Amino acid sequence: MAQIQVENLSKSYRIAARDPGLAGAVRGLFHRRTREIAALSDVSFSLERGELLGFIGPNGAGKSTTIKILSGILRPSSGRCEVDGRVPWEQRIAHVARIGVVFGQRTQLWWDLPIIESFELLRDIYRVDGAKFGRTKDRLVEMLKIAPLLDTPLRQLSLGQRMRCEIAAALLHSPSILFLDEPTIGLDAVSKLALRDFVKDLNRAEGVTVILTTHDMHDIEALARRVIIIGNGRLLRDSSFESMRNEVLGERRLIVDFATDVGEVAVEGASIRARDGRTIEFAFDPARTAAHTLIANIARAHDVVDIRVDDPKIEEVIARFYTLHGAVES
Amino acid sequence: MTTLALPYLSILRARFSLMLQYRTAAWAGVATQFWFGAIRVMTLVAFYAGTGRQPLNLAQVVTYIWLGQAFLALLPWAADAEIAANVESGNVGYERLRPVDTYFLWFARALAWRVANTCLRAGPVFVLAALVLPLTAMRDWSWRMPAGLDAAVLFLVSIALSALLSSAMTVLLNIVVTAVRTPRAAGFAMGFVNLFSGLVIPLALFPSWAQTFLLWQPFAGLADIPYRIYFGALSGAQAAEGITAQIVWVVLLVLLGQWWLDRVLSRIDMQGS
């Protein structure tokens, strides 16, 4: 049976609305108008133990809402959801004891406490056996290289150091599912790479199920075997990363720097996407026209300085996907 | 039982040791409390000079004032600042990620906060008012010793109940702040606490027809009851009645808080990330 089962999950928020101006404010005293906003509509998916799922979508798409419902801190308006056979918001305490959560923009550690004291507090809060805690902590400290940070209060750490400590903190009680909500936000390149390696290892070696939301497509590329795209609260796409990539990467680019000003260039099997002075960017489908044929044809007909073949950027692809489905917040 | 309470005890301990670090604030508090204590003692001395028999004698009233100054930080003046900040930033729901009961988590935090702050202030005020003042010319204005060993023991029981009662009220303030979503919502508490705990005027000095009501209203257990037990104005059956009133209110307010918090948290929505 699937570890996470989500069926027709919907969540709407009621927000207060009032007419503009003083008259509106006065009217609001007597009659409060509210407006319903659907943050999530009819989302269904299931996840097996040990999967690594990437959750992507533009701001306001419903990623965080989904994570909050799955982690038990938000109650959906309708729909069913079970994690390890439990309904998160109904059996909250039993549920949250088995999951780890890291929110990139929040901290779960105590601001004024040295990291090690926060860890010990978490040990007591999660009722982790002392010996087991010692082993888990030592391993995490080594893997995340946080030994020199343990005596420092959280507020004195850099963002990258903080995030490593947050991840260790989320894993001290050996959860079977780890939720990472934008864990790489604001991190430098080195920290991002280290974090990705760690998460990959954790998932492969220990079989921890990971659900990751991010805006950084390199996170998805490096980590996720399966991707769910969500937009305007709806599930737009649920597939393996490879198939998504192949589908949208069906198109490739050929960038040619010509030695002289060329007028209209017609190349069979390729269309012009952009031009900038003597540089022209062609788009072509590698399944129909081989790159070397194209290059040979162009080089024969023109004086060429440089030729490069390029993939469309994954960001560009996703952005196009969002626009295609009208997923971007209006 | 110990494993059941372990998370809450650890939170209590951590917060307690954290609060003890705020030494500058504590010394400022001591100075303020000593200064205001002295002014209020002088006012009451002047007031007593012109009247006949009173329900409390002068030594008792002076001691009452010093107790009020020493244990001022024990009273539920405001909601927990950190929880109020969490409400304002929208973080409040994130505490639900911990496998602990939110009510007792907040209760443990409130208790640690109240007791730590009181520990920092009560000692110095006691030294100044009970040990230093008797050595000066202002002997009559000093904090006296308890009425006896039994009064001292009952006082300790009663002041411990005050700490629990105050924590239960602090959690109620936290809940109000959470429900209304603004830290200022708890401001109304201060007036009630000041008047009905006996801090402005000892409750025994109110008209006699109001005494039963005053003893049994929830705020008396914060200050008036333990103080009167201390100097023997409440003893025997009366002391038992006062302590019973404290226990009843602790139980009622904890039950009310649990029920209410459950309702408030179940309809909290957290938008955005």
Choice between B64 and A323, residue whose per-residue pLDDT is larger: B64
- Give the minimum alpha-carbon distance from B77 to chain A in angstroms, rounded to a whole number: 24
Q: What is the pTM of this model?
A: 0.81
Q: Is A292 on the interface with B (CB under 8 A)?
A: no
B65 within domain boundaries: yes
B176 within domain boundaries: yes
Check B97 against A126: CB less than 8 A apart.
Answer: no
Per-residue pLDDT band for A327 (boundaries 50, 70, 90) equals: low
d(C-alpha A212, C-alpha A183), whole Å: 8
B273 within domain boundaries: no
Cα–Cα–Cα angle for A227, A232, A234, nearest 5°? 55
Q: Is B31 on the interface with A (CB under 8 A)?
A: no
| Helix runs in chain B, H state only | 2-19, 23-49, 58-70, 81-89, 102-126, 149-180, 189-196, 211-216, 224-230, 236-266
Name every chain B residue with its beta carbon within 8 A of the beta carbon of A153. none
Check B273 against A181: CB less than 8 A apart.
Answer: yes
Parent domain of B157? 2-266
Residue B205 pLDDT > 70, yes or no? yes
Q: Is B116 on the interface with A (CB under 8 A)?
A: no
Q: Is A91 on the interface with B (CB under 8 A)?
A: no
B143 within domain boundaries: yes
Burial of B207 (0-12, 13-18, 19+ CB in 10 A): exposed
B271 within domain boundaries: no
Would strands A209-213 and A226-231 be described as parallel, antiparallel, or unpaired? unpaired
CB-side neighbour CA atoms (13 Å) of B100? 27
Q: Is A130 on the interface with B (CB under 8 A)?
A: no
Q: Is B181 on the interface with A (CB under 8 A)?
A: no
> Considering its fold, how many domains does chain B have in total?
1
Residue A330 pLDDT > 60, yes or no? no
B272 within domain boundaries: no
- Give the minimum alpha-carbon distance from A106 to chain B in angstroms, rounded to a whole number: 8
A300's tokens: 């024969």
Burial of B13 (0-12, 13-18, 19+ CB in 10 A): middle
- Give the minimum alpha-carbon distance from B262 to chain A in angstroms, rounded to a whole number: 12
Residue A89 pLDDT > 60, yes or no? yes
CB A19 within 8 A of CB A27: yes
Residue of chain A nearest B105, judged by CA positions: A125
Q: Which strands, in side-by-side order, build the sheet including A99-103?
A: A99-103, A177-181, A209-213, A52-56, A226-231, A234-240
**Crossing angle of helices B58-70 and B23-49, rounded to 10°:** 160
Q: Is A16 on the interface with B (CB under 8 A)?
A: no
pLDDT on residue B273: 40
Per-residue pLDDT band for A106 (boundaries 50, 70, 90) equals: confident
d(C-alpha B168, C-alpha B163), whole Å: 9
Residue A329 pLDDT > 60, yes or no? no
CB B85 within 8 A of CB B181: no
